[in-house]
């Protein structure tokens, strides 16, 4: 009697799974028809990549996949003046970050002065009155980006070697 009961339970579960699989297999995929008459997949909002953002520095664009680490960041704001370090982390491939900053810094009128590429990549940018250093470090489970922005010094006698 116990074997008959187990057989009925297994049979019921199998029939339920069969109906479930058939039901899912028969549902049409979401498609949209254009004027050409072809069927193309519908684009969902999740397929779009988030737009890059400007954080504290109004002329340094940052990929939206990077999130600000407030504990490591320090930015000083004054009238007509912003300087400091902004630290961001995220799971972004390092070469795509290098291409991103190389392309977008030029759009914001930054000039690439020099760069070092290794497990840590450092990019030096310059403008008329400011300098920017972008330090990209590939960590074990994330990528860390430090964006340093500081004013440039105009006089030739300033600095460590006076």
Q: What is the domain-level CATH number for residue 77?
A: 3.30.310
Establish if 94 belongs to a structural domain: yes
Give the pLDDT confidence of 37-76 residue by residue, as tens digits: 544 444 445 556 678 778 888 889 999 999 999 999 999 9
Give the integer Cα–Cα distance in Å for 63 and 88: 10
| C-beta of residue 120 within 8 angstroms of C-beta of residue 136 | yes
Please state whether 64 falls in left (phi above 0), alpha (psi between -120 and 50) or beta.
alpha
Verify that 92 and 14 share a domain, yes or no: no
Q: What domain count does the chain have?
A: 2
pLDDT single digits (tens) 140-161: 899 999 999 999 877 666 556 5
CA nearest neighbour of 58 among 122, 124, 110: 110
In a domain, 158, yes or no: no
Report yes or no on 6 lying in a domain: yes
* Model confidence pLDDT, tens digit, residues 69-127: 999 999 998 888 889 999 999 999 999 999 999 999 999 999 999 999 988 999 999 99
pTM of the model: 0.65
18 within a domain of the structure (yes/no): yes
Shared domain check, 30 and 62 = no
Residue ranges making up the domain that contains 103: 49-151
68 and 131 housed in the same domain: yes
Q: Rounded to an integer, what is the distance from CA 55 to the centroid of its chain?
A: 14
Task: Check whether residue 103 and residue 26 sit in a common domain.
Answer: no
């Amino acid at each position: 009697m116990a074997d008959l009961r187990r057989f009925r339970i297994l049979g019921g579960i199998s029939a339920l799974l069969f109906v479930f699989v058939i039901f899912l297999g028969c549902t049409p995929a979401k498609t949209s028809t254009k004027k050409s008459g072809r069927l193309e997949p519908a684009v969902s909002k999740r397929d779009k990549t988030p737009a890059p953002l400007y954080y504290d520095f109004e002329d340094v664009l940052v990929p939206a996949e990077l999130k600000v680490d407030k504990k490591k960041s320090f930015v000083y704001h004054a009238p007509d003046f912003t300087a400091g370090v902004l630290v961001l982390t995220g799971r972004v491939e390092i070469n795509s970050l290098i291409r991103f900053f190389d392309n977008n810094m030029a759009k914001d009128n930054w000039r690439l002065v020099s760069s070092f590429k290794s497990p840590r990549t450092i990019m030096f940018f310059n403008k008329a009155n400011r300098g920017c250093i972008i330090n990209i470090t590939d960590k074990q489970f994330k990528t860390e980006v430090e964006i340093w922005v500081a004013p440039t010094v105009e006089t030739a006698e300033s600095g460590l070697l006076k």
